[in-house]
Structure 1
Amino acid sequence: MTKAPFRYDMVGSLKRPDALKKIWHEVQAGTKDRTEALDISQQEIKRIVNQQVNLGFHDVTDGEFSRSWWHLDFLWGLKGTKKYDYHESYKFHGSKTRTDNVSLAGKIAYNPDHPFFGFFKYLQSIVPEGVLAKQTIPSPSMLFRDNRSDLALDFYNSWDEYLLDLAKAYQQTIRHFYDLGCRYLQMDDTTWGFLISKLNETKDDPKAHAEYEKMAQDCVKVINMVLQDKPADLTVTTHVCRGNFKSTYLFSGGYEAVASYLGQLNYDGFFLEYDNERSGGFAPLKDIFNNRPQVRIILGLVTSKTPELEDQKVLIERIKEASTYVPLENLALSTQCGFASTEEGNLISEEEQWAKLTLVRDTAKKVWEDA
């Protein structure tokens, strides 16, 4: 079997059934017991794991069924953070989100009782032999935006001291996942999509542009500290996302503005969105590959936002085009994002979701002999 990331691969989230969303809302309202909700969650996770296995995927996720947000639930679980009402919806095009957010409440630290460890243990317990349980968490760079680190200097003498603690908390968290049996972990990241927009917008404003360049440099610094000394048999990838909520998006722009930074990141693989014109062309892939020639780039050519199936011939032609910048052996295929980055989910049915993943599998098998 090809080492992860695979020729056809899972991004992460899957559509939650209405019954699952309903019971968790009842838990929040105090009308249902959390234990009952966890039981239903596990039943549904087992069902979707079986479906992924039946489709032939070499790695599976729990669909992120045990969280409400792709990022906030994890960040709330770290020591030194707190949940609060942001009073602002995240700026998606055409849809308003809930106003939850996270901020610092003290020094950031590893939490040995983080609830995600229990979620992974259950996933690991139901995955058949020969299939990898893939764990997804947000990148540490997700604390750099939306006022999340505004209070850092209330608790630290310097920003660099804060970054060291943040990296250490992630290192210890990832090590715990590894000790539980995790061999495939993905750090999801919309910060690069944010930076693509901001770096393009501030080309004529040197002061603002320098601030966003500093953010990009800090992202590289903290992510590579996290990845430093990771176990050799642990695959760590990232998914660079431009936003995914009810089939809408946050950011636009090609990868040119951040490709040099992405190429500095010591990931084993990059899941990159390429499902429409907002993603730009394939030329920036060369900048990533030239710096990381051993990396695998997973092309997100199949959209998770709309139900219409892509033309397989067009997908194959686009893969061939990408291979003029990066060798075909370093490429793979996935959907452009997950199907439910938040519990609300995209405007697509579960049946249509599986059809998309089937298309990813069938296309990869036509392109790569080792798929």
Structure 2
Amino acid sequence: MSTKKLKSPFRYDIVGSFLRPKALKEAREAFAKGLVSKEELTQAEDQAIITLIEQQKAAGLHAVTDGEFRRRWWHLDFIAGLNGITVYDFQTTAFGITTEAQGTYVSGPLSFADNHPFIEHFRFTQKHAAPILAKQTIPGPNMIFLDSLILSKQYNEHPVYDSITQFKADLIETYQAAIQAFYDAGCRYLQLDDTSWGGLFDERFREMITANSFDPDQLLIDFQEITEKCLENKPDDLTITFHFCKGNFQSHWLYNGSYDKIAKNLFSIEQFDGFFLEYDDERSGSFEPLKELRSQRIVLGLITTKNGNLEDPSTIVERIKEASQFVPLEQICLSPQCGFASTHEGNHLTEEDQWKKIALVKEIAKQVWQDA
């Protein structure tokens, strides 16, 4: 079936990231040690992405990504390329393991850099994806608001904005410029990955937000308004989706809680064409919050990427039917719950497991929907 006749997000779809192949991991490690040049690393990335795109096509996907193969982190690499952002190294235990990590903070006025590397990265993906649709993923704006300002020790010690109002205005303008830049480069399927919303229902993070002199309930309104304004100039022929999970670092998660508290504000953002939501375990709660959905599609992340165990197709079909009690089946799609490698390390499963998961998503979707 031609992709042009299908509506995105698709009945069977993907979040975006894939496990990095061994050769790419080795090239990145060699580059870190100064054993290969940046050009040689880029060549390794190029080849790995071309191979991945062909694998996605062979799997029958209607839209393909670069697997986020050029990134160390699912979010930080994009944010680091913006004007007014500084990156720093630290050690974290946030995901239940002790590991080296990186963070960002707002260190100057925010703006989108005309030479942001992700634009050329997209053009490369699109060139090799043709005639299949190329999907681009970037972190949502509230990742910067929460992590790089509200919860940032560095920012709170050295604030650069006289008012939060001015910060929000610059953040919105930055994302409007980014969206337009991707569109001008030919992007017609863009996804905002934004886990920051989890901090608004996780009790531990709500306490941290309050301790930093912000009201998490007011932030629900702020997050919604910021996102709506970022999407204000969205072209009619550009699909923009939203992906949310509760953290996915080497199969570990960050947030706890259900969607009840954020559903009304999140689903009120009508400029989104669809929402990818994690639903692979009991931590996600019931499907009842989906009753707040409007006309957008909901892509149920019922297939876990945290391990290689294959789900029972009949169980997934039953869960889709359960969800259809709250939102019409016509608006429902299926995908893995997250990417397979939100960071360079990847989750605890094999590449073989990864492709079996994608095949399972397709198999189930074709069983449930005639237009899959």
Provide the TM-score with structure 1 as the length reference: 0.93
Cα offsets for 1:324-371 (capped at 9, x unmatched): 100000000000000000000001000100000000001000000000
Cα distance in 2 for partners of 1:340, 1:132 equals 21
CA distance 1:209–1:160, shift in 2 (3 Å)? closer
1:145 lines up with 2:135 in the alignment = no
Provide the TM-score with structure 2 as the length reference: 0.93
Cα offsets for 1:255-280 (capped at 9, x unmatched): 11111111222311100000000110
Residue of structure 2 in register with 1:132 after alignment? 133
Letter in 2 for 1:189: D
1:114 lines up with 2:119 in the alignment = no
Identity of aligned residues (%): 45
Residue of structure 2 in register with 1:48 after alignment? 52
Cα distance in 1 for partners of 2:210, 2:123 equals 48
Quote how far apart the aligned CAs of 1:44 are.
0.8
Unaligned 5+ residue runs, structure 2?
none
Summarize the alignment of residues 103-252 of structure 1 with structure 2, pairs less than 5 Å apart. Answer: 103-129=105-131, 131-148=132-149, 150=152, 151=155, 154-198=159-203, 211-252=215-256
Structure 1 contact 333–364 (Cα < 8 Å) conserved? yes
Q: Secondary structure at the match of 2:92?
A: coil
Summarize the alignment of residues 15-94 of structure 1 with structure 2, pairs less than 5 Å apart. Answer: 15-85=19-89, 87-89=90-92, 91-93=94-96
Residue of structure 2 in register with 1:299 after alignment? 300
Cα offsets for 1:306-337 (capped at 9, x unmatched): 10100000000100110010000000000000
Quote how far apart the aligned CAs of 1:193 are.
1.9
Cα offsets for 1:3-38 (capped at 9, x unmatched): 110000010100001221221122222221011111
CA distance 1:322–1:224, shift in 2 (3 Å)? same
Q: Which shifted more, 314-323 or 259-268? A: 259-268
Residue of structure 2 in register with 1:315 after alignment? 316
Q: How well do the aligned residues superpose, as a CA RMSD in angstroms?
A: 2.0
Cα distance in 2 for partners of 1:197, 1:88 equals 22
Letter in 2 for 1:77: G
Structure 1 contact 199–257 (Cα < 8 Å) conserved? no
Residue of structure 2 in register with 1:327 after alignment? 328
Quote how far apart the aligned CAs of 1:146 are.
3.6
Residue of structure 2 in register with 1:258 after alignment? 262
Quote how far apart the aligned CAs of 1:207 are.
9.2
Cα distance in 1 for partners of 2:112, 2:206 equals 36
Quote how far apart the aligned CAs of 1:88 are.
3.6
Quote how far apart the aligned CAs of 1:90 are.
5.2
Cα offsets for 1:80-137 (capped at 9, x unmatched): 111112x3415113x23422111112100010111111110100100131x2100000
Q: Number of paired residues?
A: 362
